[in-house]
Amino acid sequence: MKNEDHLQEIRRQVDMFFDHALSLDDERSLLERVQQDPTYQRVFSHEKTMRDHLRNHVHRPGVSPDFIQSIKDHIRMG
Amino acid sequence: MSNKDKTHFDKVFEEELLPHADALKTFAYHLTYSDEDANDLVQDTYFKAYRFIDKYEEGTNPKAWLFKILKNGYINEYRKKVKRPIKVDFEEIVAYHDSDDDRITGYNDLREDIFQYMMGDEVTIAINALPLDFRTVILLCDIEGFTYEEIAKIIDVPIGTVRSRLFRARNLLKEKLKNYADSLGYKDFRGELRVRNAENRAEEE
C-alpha cells in the first residue's frame, strides 16, 4: 500500500472509531495500534483534539425554563 | 384522545421528549442563524411531536425522532416562510453529485497546535459557513453524537451518503478553521522546517 493510501486508511479507521462505527474487536485493535505505532498515535490524537475542540466550543444557546413551561401550557390547553 | 390517553401521552412527552429541548435548540440555531427563529422551530417541532405522539414508539429513540421532525420542518416550512433563497454553492453541488461516492481522495490536515490560537467563536462561525447538507451532518454526528444509521434516517439518505458527506464536511471545516488561523497570523511552517532540516543535514555532512 502506498504511503498516502496507508495514511488515508488510518484516518478512515480513526474517523470510524470516533463515530462509534467500529465493532468492539476493531476498536480494541485500533487502540492497540495507537499505543504501538506513532503514525496511528498522531492521527488519533489529532482527530481527538479536533473533535473535542468542536464539541467544547460550538455555540449551544439552550432554552429557558419559561420556554419549556410555555410548551407544556400549550399542550395542556390543547 | 381520551383523558386516560392524554395523561399517558403528556407523561411520555414530558419525560421522553422535552429533555431534548436544548439539543434541538442548538441544531435549530445552526440551521437558522437566529435565536428567535430557532425558538420558533423548536416550539413547532414540539407541537408537531405532540400532535403525532401516538406514532412515537415509546422507549425507542426520541431524540432522533425529534431531530427528524425539526429537520423536515426546517426544509419544508421554515425556509418557505422566511422566503430565504436556497444558497447553492460549489461544495453543495459536489456533495450531491458525489453523494454515494466512497472513493475518498485527499484529506485535509489541520495541525493540532492550531487550536491554541483559537478562542472558540471561530468553531461556530466555521460550522455556520458550511453548506446546509454538510453543516447538518457535522451537527448530527460530531456535536450530537448520532450514529451513521440514525443520521441516515433523520436526513433520509443512504448510510454511504452520510459517510461521504461527513468526510467532505470535515475536510471543508478544517479548511475554514485553518484559514481562520492563517488570518490570525498563524503559519504552518512544517514544509519550511522539513526543507531547513534537510539543508542543515546536508551542511553537516
Given CB atoms, is A15 within the 8 Å cutoff of chain B?
yes
> Do the chains contact at A19 and B120, CB–CB below 8 Å?
no
> Do the chains contact at B147 and A20, CB–CB below 8 Å?
yes
CA distance A13 to A47: 11
What is the pTM for the complete model shown?
Answer: 0.81
ipTM of the complex: 0.89
**pLDDT tens across B122-177, in order?**
888 899 999 999 999 999 999 999 999 999 999 999 999 999 999 999 999 988 88
CA distance B183 to B106: 23
Facing B26 at nearest CB: one of A19, A53, A60: A60
C-alpha cell, B71: 429537520
Residues of A in contact with B124 (CB under 8 A): 57-59
CA distance B61 to B157: 18
Facing A21 at nearest CB: one of B122, B138, B147: B147
Kindly report the nearest CA distance between residue A72 and chain B, in angstroms.
8
**pLDDT tens across B188-203, in order?**
554 444 445 555 666 6
Question: Among B2-6, B38-42, B88-92, B127-131, which range has the highest average pLDDT?
Answer: B38-42
Given CB atoms, is A74 within the 8 Å cutoff of chain B?
yes
Residues of A in contact with B173 (CB under 8 A): 54
**pLDDT tens across B74-111, in order?**
998 777 776 655 554 545 445 444 444 444 445 566 66
Supply φ then ψ for residue A19, to 5 degrees.
-90, 5
**pLDDT tens across A31-48, in order?**
999 999 999 999 999 899
Kindly report the nearest CA distance between residue A20 and chain B, in angstroms.
7
- CA Rg value for chain A: 21
CA distance B164 to A53: 22
Average pLDDT value over all residues in chain A: 91
CB proximity under 8 Å: A 44-73 to B: 45-46, 49-51, 53-63, 67-68, 70-72
Average pLDDT value over all residues in chain B: 80
CB B68 within 8 A of CB B153: yes
Residues of B in contact with A76 (CB under 8 A): 10
Using CA atoms, how far residue B141 sits from B47, B86, B170, in Å, is: 25, 23, 11
CA distance B63 to B144: 10
Element counts in chain A: helices (H) and strands (E): 4, 0
